[in-house]
A and B are shown apart, each in its own frame.
Chain A
């Protein structure tokens, strides 16, 4: 017999952090870059959703609603290949971070369409599953939280190397229930062997359909850092300015102290979990882009009209890129044997 829903524990009230500050303590140029990248990211995700809805992709998952956190994150990353640069162990909501790092949006569109030209997986993996070795972006994979088990490995190599590069890991709130989250806390804080890891959690208070407060009792996920003697904080991920400043402080600490920092960012989820839940815009959650545009307009940094024009421009641009991707071929079935083993030609091992 199904359990009476009423007997379930009530969902704990979740208090979003909105730190209303009217100051804009960043230079206008940076603010405009931030805003434009947020617009780009939103338009890209909306294009991917449109592609899904019109049959040009099998599944959509991405990060609309998290731009105010993900763009500043990308701006602070020291990109490059190898342990002298930052390593990125991301999950599937990081498109805005990649755009802020300078990535071209066509790749995401090609991955959505699973074309052979998809630069991240050659048509093998879902949308938002980036991988870019030139920039130390480890392949995004679907199993929740595994990236938290890997992040200490790259950080260990970086610590040994000296220098200021760090390893960054992102994931959601629900995933922190997995043991791999604890792995990142334990392994990054071994006494005397602390590692330069920036442990990030974007708390949108949902794991698909399950409210955070129903299944976890820790009010602030960042509190879990305290037991490990780790610096930690919960920040407003809906405000790009405070997110930038808070992240900057955390980045600087990890870069110079070579020790871990845990940051929980409260964010919105504006198109639901994924295409499996419809991918429709939700109005009940704060829209970081709209809020930011309001402030930029008030402070004369960028008018609403200008913001609108940017949105239009990118909407059209990405529609054009999608048309381009639609003409590109899918990978050939015979390529399934490629890249099973490095340095070896791909072939069916049982064919003779």
Chain B
């Protein structure tokens, strides 16, 4: 996925007018702690100052530039929240005068044994900040396509990258990417050691933008709807296969864009199945899944065969380092399997 984001940003520099890709360690030689920004033209290293990063992105956007700013880990975005609110309300408070075309990308979530400050999620908090669009891909192709749309937006976009999926290879190739993984790596991954003379060899990429606000139907099914995004998405997919072997037929939606989200897709699916589970890994109290569950309850009550459910992270102050602690804090494969099985078979 890191390579997909890099390729999207390259495409955006070349074709979509992106002028600045910046943040802590984003420029050469490192190209980002997750390598998302290696080999790009417009990258630069910022001071270690998250508020400065968001503020500068806002200023650049005001002056007609098109910034993509990175916050190294979403765990460190929290001291910028009032600036995120400001970016989200600048158009509104100026009664339509100032829009801010800017993208902020940041790695989120657990899955790399990142302990208390490299495992936070940010989707629930972000869903409390109007005026932004928020996306969270679960596959490299989606990351590529959503980034292109984010870089075309007239409004601020928060691009959440599930850390656990940073290194996954997608089933579907990005249009233009060489089929051979090793060849791609040779072309666009910076070499170890001295990189001062290295330049990326970009493949001939094409525009495969994915519109914001459109969910992806990952699996068709009839007995249960599961809506997820980010790290938990592959777990849901796998669980649906496991359950299929047990004769339980789950429909799976990858929301991809959290705001504005694809309500129509949820409605259509829930009307068909009558059962819905929302899965994500942010803390479960005032979780984004709770909003979805409330809306389904209010709007689709008479279509439901069972209560809408939310499977999310435990409401604890942090995710502990030990494997056992992380596993107890955020949904794991077994938790997803069990929640889906329970809901699919729940009887009044």
Q: A and B: partners?
A: yes
- Which residues of A are interface residues toward B (Cβ below 8 A)? 82-83, 87, 89, 118, 120-122, 124-125, 129, 131-133, 138-139, 141, 143, 146, 148-158, 167, 179-180, 183, 186-187, 190, 338-343, 349-350, 352
Inter-chain CA distance A342–B95, complex, in Å, is 11
Q: Pick from A87, A131, A141, A341 the residue with the most CB of B within 10 Å.
A: A341
Encode B40-59 as 1/0 by CB contact (under 8 A) with A.
00000011010110111111
Residues of chain B having any CB pair with chain A under 8 Å: 20, 46-47, 49, 51-52, 54-65, 67, 82-83, 86, 89-99, 130-131, 133, 154-155, 260, 263, 295, 299
Contact assessment for B260 and A349 in the assembled complex, using a CB-CB cutoff below 8 Å: yes
List 5 A-B pairs, minimum CB-CB distance, nearest first: A153-B59, A149-B55, A157-B63, A122-B95, A342-B99
Contact A352-B51, Cβ < 8 Å, known A139-B93, A339-B91: no
- Would B98 and A153 count as touching, CB distance under 8 A? no
CB–CB A157/B64 < 8 A: yes
A–B pairs, 16, beta carbons within 8 Å: A138-B62, A138-B98, A143-B86, A146-B83, A153-B57, A153-B59, A153-B60, A156-B56, A183-B49, A183-B51, A183-B52, A187-B47, A187-B52, A340-B91, A341-B133, A342-B155
A131→B98 contact, CB < 8 A: yes
- Would you call A180 and B55 a contact (CB within 8 A)? yes
**Once bound together, how far apart are the Cα atoms of A185 and B20, in whole Å?**
21
Kindly provide the distance from the CB of B96 to the nearest chain A CB, expressed in whole angstroms.
Answer: 4
Residue of B with least CB distance to A341: B155
Residues of A contacting B99 in the complex (Cβ-Cβ under 8 angstroms): 342-343
Q: In the complex, A231 Cα to B47 Cα: how many Å? A: 21
A153 contacts B55, C-beta separation under 8 Å: yes
Q: For B131, give its contact among A138, A183, A338, A340 (CB under 8 Å).
A: A340
> Other CB < 8 Å A-B pairs besides A152-B59, A179-B49, 17 of them?
A83-B64, A121-B93, A122-B95, A131-B98, A132-B97, A138-B62, A143-B82, A146-B86, A153-B59, A154-B60, A156-B56, A156-B63, A157-B65, A179-B51, A339-B95, A342-B91, A342-B154
- Per a CB cutoff under 8 Å, which of B56, B97, B155 touches A152? B56
A338 CB contacts on chain B under 8 angstroms: 95-96
Which listed residue (A124, A152, A154, A167) contacts B93, Cβ 8 A? A124
CB atoms of A340 and B93 under 8 A apart: no
Which B residues are CB-close (under 8 A) to A151?
55, 59
In the complex, chain B residues whose CB is within 8 Å of the CB of A139? 90, 93-94, 97-98
> In the complex, which of the residues B62, B94, B95 contacts A153, with contact meaning CB atoms closer than 8 Å?
B62
A138 to B82, CA, bound (A): 17
**A332 to B99 alpha-carbon distance, docked (Å):** 22
Instruction: Give Cα A40 to B250, complex, Å.
Output: 70
In the complex, number of A-B residue pairs with CB atoms less than 8 Å apart: 140
Known contacts A141-B86, A146-B82; decide if A152 and B91 are in contact (CB<8 Å): no
User: Known contacts A157-B64, A338-B96, A340-B91; is A167 also within 8 Å of B155 by CB?
Assistant: no
Whether the Cβ atoms of A141 and B295 lie closer than 8 Å is no
Known A190-B47, A352-B263; contact A131-B57, beta-carbon cutoff 8 A: no
Closest to B85 in A: A143
> Chain A's nearest CB lies how many Å from the CB of B1?
27
- Taking CB atoms, residues of chain B closer than 8 Å to A187 are 46-47, 49, 52, 56
Task: Known A87-B63, A141-B86, A341-B131; judge A152-B55 contact (CB<8 A).
Answer: yes
User: Closest CB-CB distance, B44 to chain A, in whole Å?
Assistant: 8
- Looking across the interface, which residue of chain A has its beta carbon closest to that of B263? A352
B90 touching A153, Cβ below 8 Å? no
In the complex, which residue of chain A has the Cβ closest to the Cβ of B60? A153
User: Interface centre among B51, B56, B94, by most A CB within 10 Å?
Assistant: B94
Instruction: Report the separation of the CA atoms of residues A155 and B86 in the bound assembly, to the nearest whole angstrom.
Output: 19
Q: What's the least CB distance linking A184 to chain B, in Å? A: 8
* Smallest Cβ-Cβ distance to A130: which chain B residue: B94
B56 near A153 with CB under 8 A, answer yes
| Residues in A whose Cβ lies below 8 Å from that of B63 | 82-83, 87, 153-154, 156-158
User: How far apart sit A153 and B130, CA to CA, in the bound complex (Å)?
Assistant: 23
Select the residue from A125, A149, A180 with max chain B CB neighbours within 10 A: A149
Chain A residue at minimal CB-CB distance from B59: A153
Which residue of B is nearest A165, CB measured? Answer: B63
- Enumerate chain A residues within 8 angstroms of B47, measured Cβ to Cβ: 186-187, 190
**Contact (Cβ within 8 A) A150 B154:** no
Q: In the complex, A229→B98 CA distance in Å? A: 34
Taking CB as reference atom, which chain A residue is nearest B44? A193
Inter-chain CA distance A132–B62, complex, in Å, is 12
The answer to whether A153 and B263 touch (CB under 8 A), given A141-B93, A143-B86, is: no
CB <8 Å contact, A156 and B59: yes
| Given known A183-B52, A341-B155, A349-B260, contact A150–B59 (CB-CB < 8 A) | yes
A183 to B92, CA, bound (A): 26
The reply to whether B97 and A149 form a contact with Cβ atoms under 8 Å apart is: no
Task: Report B-chain residues with C-beta under 8 Å of the C-beta of A138.
Answer: 62, 98
* Distance of A82 Cα from B98 Cα, bound (Å): 12
Contact of A121 among B46, B52, B55, B94 (CB under 8 A): B94
Residues of A contacting B92 in the complex (Cβ-Cβ under 8 angstroms): 124, 339-340
Return the contact of A125 from the options B54, B93, B260 (Cβ within 8 A). Answer: B93
Q: Which residues of A contact B95 (CB under 8 A)?
A: 118, 120-122, 124, 131, 338-339
List of B residues within 8 angstroms of A132 by Cβ: 97
Given A82-B63, A146-B83, CB of A339 within 8 Å of CB of B96: yes
Determine if A341 and B62 form an interchain contact, defined as CB atoms under 8 angstroms apart.
no
Q: Given A139-B98, A352-B299, are A156 and B60 neighbors across the interface (CB < 8 Å)?
A: yes
